[in-house]
């Protein structure tokens, strides 16, 4: 009997011992109030360089986000090359070298994103210049068909203002063209793109400062103040000095934007494609003539005006989510 009781007790102890652990005896259990010791592996992300689109494509490409109607109209006019930096449309004649479209796209991207972090500095201005149904940047190649019918034809069909960057201003008339744009061609691009940005971006976003629809804005009043004193567009007449060329640039949408471009570019230390009659040749001379009000605007970072020479080589690197590489424990 004594042996039976000892055997029964041993059996009960075995059963109780098994009931205390429901896991494998090789895995140590921890109280629920104590976290399991863990090791967080270091994640090494792989950064891929992603650039703002400055590579020309066929205007019919799915990557060009304009309507089919626009694609058909542009193609019918031999405008078969397109590029859309930050969604802003630049379209070109099929003969325009890709390098010219890329350079124009880089200039536009750098003006929108001067710190080149991949994000335009003023979303309000960006949204306005993205409206290709309102305005776009055509790059025609041959002046005869452009002036005789293409400009008007595209304007009527697209119902949008095309602020041109023509080949003949950049590299003269004729079929020949440099493989890459020279300094003069770059200066022409800067002028026309700044004109586009002022008239269709800044002017609409901040009309009291950059407006070019009338003579009431700050930059329009500055133009009036300088007119026939130290600024004269060569198509406009002054009392004792008639203009040099045929044409009329007396409306603010022309006169103010041309004047303002020369102010911004000169003050930023950049070369001009041409210089207005009497316009200062140095930044120091210009500073002495500008009002304190316009200098304050130009220096205000909230308006993102060009303050130093463009690099002409816009690029940025942006971290993109990728499959991570995990360090061994």
SS3 sequence of the chain? CHHHHHHHHHHHHHHHHHHCCCCCCCCCCCCCCCCCCCCCCCEECCCCCCCCCCCCEECCCCCCCCCHHHHHHHHHCCEEEEECHHHCCEEEECCCCHHHHHHHHHHHHHHHCCCCCCCCCCHHHHHHHCCCCCEEEEECCCHHHHHHHHHHHHHHHHCCEECCCCHHHHHCCCCCCCCCCCHHHHHHHHHHHHHHHHHHHHHHHCHHHHCCCCCCCHHHHHHHHHECCCECCCCCCECCECCCCCCCCCCHHHHHHHHHHHHHHHHCCCCCCCCCCCCCCCHHHHHHHCCHHHHHHHHCHHHCCCCCCCCCCCCCCCCCCCCCEECCC
Same-domain status, 129 and 245 = no
Same-domain status, 51 and 148 = yes
Same-domain status, 171 and 234 = no
Q: What is the mean pLDDT of residues 191-200?
A: 98
Q: What is the mean pLDDT of residues 191-215?
A: 98
Structural domain that includes position 79: 41-182
Q: What is the pLDDT of residue 319?
A: 52
Domain membership flag for residue 130: yes
Same-domain status, 165 and 217 = no
Q: Which of 38-42, 133-137, 230-234 has the lowest mean pLDDT?
A: 38-42
Domain membership flag for residue 127: yes
Q: Bigger pLDDT: 16 or 151?
A: 151
Number of domains in the chain: 2
Same-domain status, 138 and 253 = no
Domain membership flag for residue 13: no
Same-domain status, 137 and 240 = no
Percent of the chain with pLDDT over 70: 80
Domain membership flag for residue 113: yes
Same-domain status, 232 and 105 = no
Same-domain status, 163 and 217 = no
Domain membership flag for residue 263: yes
Domain membership flag for residue 166: yes
* Confidence label for 52 from pLDDT (cuts 50, 70 and 90): confident
Same-domain status, 152 and 215 = no
Same-domain status, 177 and 65 = yes
Q: Is the pLDDT reported for residue 44 higher than 90?
A: no
Q: Is the pLDDT reported for residue 284 higher than 70?
A: yes
Same-domain status, 136 and 212 = no
Percent of the chain with pLDDT over 90: 77
Q: What is the pLDDT of residue 125?
A: 97
Q: Is the pLDDT reported for residue 268 higher than 80?
A: yes
Q: What is the mean pLDDT of residues 136-160?
A: 97
Q: Is the pLDDT reported for residue 280 higher than 90?
A: yes
Q: What is the pLDDT of residue 315?
A: 81
């Amino acid at each position: 009997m004594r042996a039976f009781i000892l055997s029964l007790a041993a059996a009960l102890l075995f059963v109780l011992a098994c009931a205390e652990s429901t896991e494998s005896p090789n895995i140590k259990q921890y109280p629920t109030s104590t976290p399991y010791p863990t090791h967080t592996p270091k994640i090494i992300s792989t950064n891929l360089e992603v650039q703002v689109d400055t590579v020309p494509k066929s205007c019919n490409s799915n990557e060009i986000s304009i309507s089919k109607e626009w694609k058909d109209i542009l193609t019918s006019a031999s405008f078969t090359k397109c590029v859309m930096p930050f969604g802003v449309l630049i379209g070109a004649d099929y003969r325009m070298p890709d390098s010219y479209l890329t350079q124009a796209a880089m200039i536009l991207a750098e003006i929108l994103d001067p710190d080149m972090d991949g994000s335009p500095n003023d979303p309000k201005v960006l949204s306005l210049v993205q409206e290709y149904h309102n305005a776009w940047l055509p790059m025609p190649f041959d002046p005869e068909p452009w002036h005789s019918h293409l400009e008007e034809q595209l304007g009527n069909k697209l119902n949008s203002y095309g602020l041109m960057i023509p080949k003949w201003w950049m590299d003269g008339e004729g079929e020949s063209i440099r493989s890459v744009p020279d300094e003069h061609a770059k200066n022409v691009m800067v002028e026309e793109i700044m004109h586009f940005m002022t008239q269709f971006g800044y002017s609409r976003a901040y009309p009291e400062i950059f407006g070019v629809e009338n003579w009431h804005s700050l930059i329009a009043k500055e133009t009036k103040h300088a007119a026939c004193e130290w600024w004269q567009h060569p198509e406009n007449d002054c009392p004792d000095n008639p203009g040099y060329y045929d044409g009329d640039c007396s409306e603010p949408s022309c006169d103010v934007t041309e004047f303002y471009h020369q102010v911004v570019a000169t003050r930023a230390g950049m070369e001009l494609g041409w210089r207005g009659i009497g316009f200062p040749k140095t930044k120091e001379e210009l500073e002495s003539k500008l009002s304190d009000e316009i200098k304050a605007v130009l220096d205000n970072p909230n308006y993102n005006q060009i303050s130093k020479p463009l690099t002409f080589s816009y690029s940025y690197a942006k971290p993109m989510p990728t499959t991570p590489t995990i360090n061994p424990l």
